[in-house]
Amino acid sequence: MAKVTGLDGIVAADTDISLVDGTQGHLVYRGFWAKDLAVQYEYEEVAYLLCNGVLPDQAQNQQFTKNLTESRQLPEALKRLLDIIPREMPIMGVLQTAIAMLSGGIFIWPPTKEQAIRITAILPTIIAYRYRMQNGLSVIEPKPELGHTANFLYMLTGELPKPAHVKALGAYLILGMEHGMNASTFASRVVLSTQSDMASAISAAIGAMKGPLHGGAPTEVIAMLDAIGSKEHAEPWIRESLERGDRLMGFGHRIYKTKDPRAEALREVTEALSGNDPWFDLAVHVEKTAVRLLAEYKPGRHLYANVEFFAASIMRAIALPTELFTPTFTAARVVGWSAHLLEQAEVNRIFRPQSVYTGPMPG
């Protein structure tokens, strides 16, 4: 029996949700370039696209946005759970527990778009509620007149966010929504294939996302930008780092062997906003300097900024605490998970791979 450790290269499902082509540097959502969607569309429109297969018209977008807005509130029982979970539990564990609690009620087999909207809407509220409670701050209730991205920032800070920050974070959330049959998406589809419910499947996906090999935060990129500090220090700092043989954080990617299309989109957004925030200014300058010096020091390697580089600049600009990086990524990816779960249910067959026994036989 053929064995492939880690299932690398094994096709587990047909999908029309997204295409990830690392060789060509392509990321496609439902027939659209993801980078174009991130630059030209709002969060709600792309979430609708992933779950419904088409971009919404004005009336559909308004209804979808209304449904998201009306689904943000936490049930009282869930608030009580968030209040009693030990403070030392990391927030990803809190998210996993909170979403699992939703099982039952509307969350029964088969998964529905109503369930997808509910989980997508409620995740940012759970994150903001737990973060503020953990830090001794008063909880901020959702603001109905704000869009999904702006409301998330508002619930975290209690202040209306800058439009530049909303645009940048919105682009990041769009580009984080979906990325093929990654570990967390596969975990969610495996659970749902047993005819378990969507909440349980999303909880499993969050469990996979917790792992540092999957949902790790770009903290090392932020540390690099902090160390560089200003445009005039960028070239000497990067040269010194490369001459020591250090790895330049935020450059190169395991999947993309050419330019990361997510980074390309975030660069475009960041450049457009660079006059509105000093961290965007610095990130654009550092990226250009680093690519030039990497070509000089590592000719032929074709090393470019990856999505983590520009994600880090956005997180730094909006002053997002490091412990919220992976939860925020999770709040983005839940849209893709939901789309995959709806797709899995349409042609469901339980996942049941084989294993090769390598232990001893009885005497």
Cα separation, 102 vs 80, in Å, equals 13
Contact 132, 83 (CB under 8 A): no
Q: How many residues does the chain have?
A: 363
Positive or negative, the CA dihedral 341, 346, 350, 353 is negative
Contact 265, 31 (CB under 8 A): no
* 240 has catalytic annotation: no
Q: The tokens of 249 are what? A: 């954080």
Q: Which amino acid is at 55?
A: L
Burial (CB count <10 Å: 0-12, 13-18, 19+), residue 298: middle
Q: Which of these is catalytic: 148, 165, 179, 253?
A: 253
Cα separation, 295 vs 316, in Å, equals 27
Q: The tokens of 74 are what? A: 């936490």
Q: Which of these is catalytic: 44, 264, 308, 343?
A: 308
The radius of gyration of the chain's CA atoms, rounded to the nearest angstrom, is: 21
3-state secondary structure of 18: strand
* 253 has catalytic annotation: yes
Residue among 314, 341, 339 at smallest CA distance from 329: 314
Please identify every residue annotated as catalytic. 253, 308
